[in-house]
A and B are shown apart, each in its own frame.
Chain A
């Protein structure tokens, strides 16, 4: 029982950053943008969160700053990709490189450390304990006591679903992805929809980053997004952007993350357990590809 609870909590913790980033990526996916900068936005958000939390002594301001830093990246993306029509793939890769370089450089400049910045002065995002629910024997340990960001992520799934499928904004956003020329000739600027999508993506990736550096652990490490942006990209592709699908897939990836940690107890070397999420992505891609091939044949 202990193990199961631990596994589920590990799964939720592992899923959250991927879920948030993938929800952000869903906006750009539907808008027809080839966005591979989620990795960089997440990293920028993680760094911003630590800066805000440490210097302003508040996790709330840490979150605010994480969104701000991610937005900076999004603005650069918008400038180059939407305004200057630079290739989106190139812009994304350059931004990821920029994020790594800039955060590493700034960490050194600001905190005077290399590699990792961990300090008792960083205020982490607290856990939320729901009064009555936490008393429930088994469910209570899972439903209550999670990091605040987890609950935000759940709300985000519902909010993003609503926004994309029920609102006028969402209808136009998807139209931008289905047929940009049609949307433009209908009198709505595709460029504006894509800009909005990128900004929303940055907000969610910023939150994902904040969870990484203020929730999952309480520190900033060089390149700490560790490929999660790529996994969230895979998640989006596998479910064709659908927010509910993203939630399910993120749980699966989070589970593989937790499984990795569990395996460590069984003497499997830590390097192999760290591989588990990435191998899991490959397996998921296998099933997806086989399904697509059957459909196209």
Chain B
């Protein structure tokens, strides 16, 4: 267990060093850059609140990917499920008018429904025709992208706007803030908690995990692999959809073109770095949000383009994952050498 944290920390440090090297090549001062990143993400209550709020879509899509990968189904459809969840919540917010608590509840449920349905479509194709969900979810991402683009430029368009977007949703659906912190964070924490509980304490979660590790063994043990597959797809689709809905409700309060552009793929990336661990997903989600949030602020004062954060993220992913495996190998070899010395004549 100690190895997990050590290798993670080591990976982060090495990646930051590599990032610093890349910045030097570009003519920037890495210390300035990292200081600015820190300042604008964690240096104060307001930046912290922003980072936490931005972490929500990252953590939720990351959770979606983590649970899916750890249970077997290769659900790479978070981008599409995210968009459908956002669309469902937006449309609900435009046509359903209830008092705030009810409105928020309904919209949140709609968002989860949208994501679950979109993932469910892929699950259906797998169950009926054995079509690989790997490819189907990827294709459905593109379809969802175009579909929502049409929806916000067509039937749900705000006629007074200059670019494709919907009108704002009912104010009752806007997620309020408590001080600096937006309540969307509470939904994120609740989702993490519920997910952890289901995954680790429910019988279904036990079967999901074992099916993900060795589906043949789980099958022989009597687990209903098909039913579990569909359940996981729906559950993880709902999580990604929730991310989309919350983004609309806490952010621009409407569906704009380019909503949540990279969040969902970042979620997949976070799941990979976290090695599908749920708590690790939360932590890494927060960490990557810090980098992204900090980068936006950093751009204002240091003239370093915020896109560098994407490069830094990719480097982090590669290095953390590589170092995890490399560390395990190094430790094993050292132990083996020690034993061999004991035996040599």
Q: Check A-B contact in the complex, CB < 8 A.
A: yes
Residues of A within 8 A of B (CB): 76, 80, 84-87, 90-91, 93-95, 97-98, 100-102, 104-105, 108-109, 226-227, 230, 233-234, 237, 269, 271-272, 274-275, 278-279, 281-282, 285-286, 289-290, 292-293
Chain B residue at smallest Cβ distance from A39: B138
Please state if B318 and A285 are interface contacts (CB–CB under 8 Å). Answer: no
User: In the complex, what residues of B have CB within 8 A of residue A104's CB?
Assistant: 307, 310
The complex places the Cα of A46 from the Cα of B316 at a distance, in Å, of 25
Q: Binary interface profile of B, 308-319, with partner A (CB < 8 Å = 1, else 0)? A: 111101110110
CB–CB B311/A98 < 8 A: yes
- Of the A-B pairs whose beta carbons lie under 8 Å apart in the complex, a sample of 29, sorted by A's number, is A84-B325, A85-B325, A90-B317, A90-B318, A91-B318, A93-B272, A94-B314, A94-B317, A94-B318, A97-B317, A98-B315, A98-B318, A102-B314, A104-B307, A105-B305, A105-B310, A227-B142, A234-B139, A271-B146, A272-B146, A272-B150, A275-B146, A278-B140, A278-B142, A279-B143, A282-B135, A285-B136, A285-B139, A290-B130
Whether, in the assembled complex, B131 has its beta carbon less than 8 Å from a beta carbon of chain A, the answer is: yes
**9 other A-B residue contacts (CB within 8 Å) besides A80-B318, A101-B308:** A94-B314, A97-B265, A97-B313, A97-B314, A100-B262, A105-B307, A108-B307, A282-B131, A285-B131
Cβ contact within 8 Å between A289 and B269: no
Chain A facing B: main interface SS:
helix
Q: Mark B243-274, 1 if CB is under 8 A from A, else 0.
A: 00000000000000000001001101100100
Inter-chain contacts of B143 with A (CB < 8 A) = 275, 278-279
Main secondary structure of the interface of B (DSSP, over half): helix
Known: A105-B307, A275-B146. A286 touches B314 (CB 8 A): no
- Knowing A108-B305, A230-B138 are in contact, say whether A271-B149 is a contact too (CB < 8 A): yes
- Are the CB atoms of A285 and B135 closer together than 8 Å? yes
Tell whether B322 is near chain A: CB-to-CB under 8 Å: yes
Residue from A93, A279, A292 in contact with B139 in the complex, judged by beta carbons closer than 8 Å: A279
Judge whether B314 and A95 touch: CB under 8 Å.
yes
With beta carbons under 8 angstroms apart, the residue of B130, B262, B314 that contacts A289 is B130
**A269 and B150 form a contact (CB under 8 A):** yes
**How many chain B residues have a CB neighbour from A under 8 Å?**
42
The tally of CB-CB contacts under 8 A between chains A and B is 124
With A and B bound together, what is the CA distance between A102 and B309 in angstroms? 10
A250 CB to nearest chain B CB (Å): 16
**B interface with A by C-beta (< 8 Å):** 26, 125, 129-132, 135-136, 138-143, 146-147, 149-150, 153-154, 262, 265-266, 268-269, 272, 305, 307-311, 313-315, 317-318, 321-322, 325-326, 329
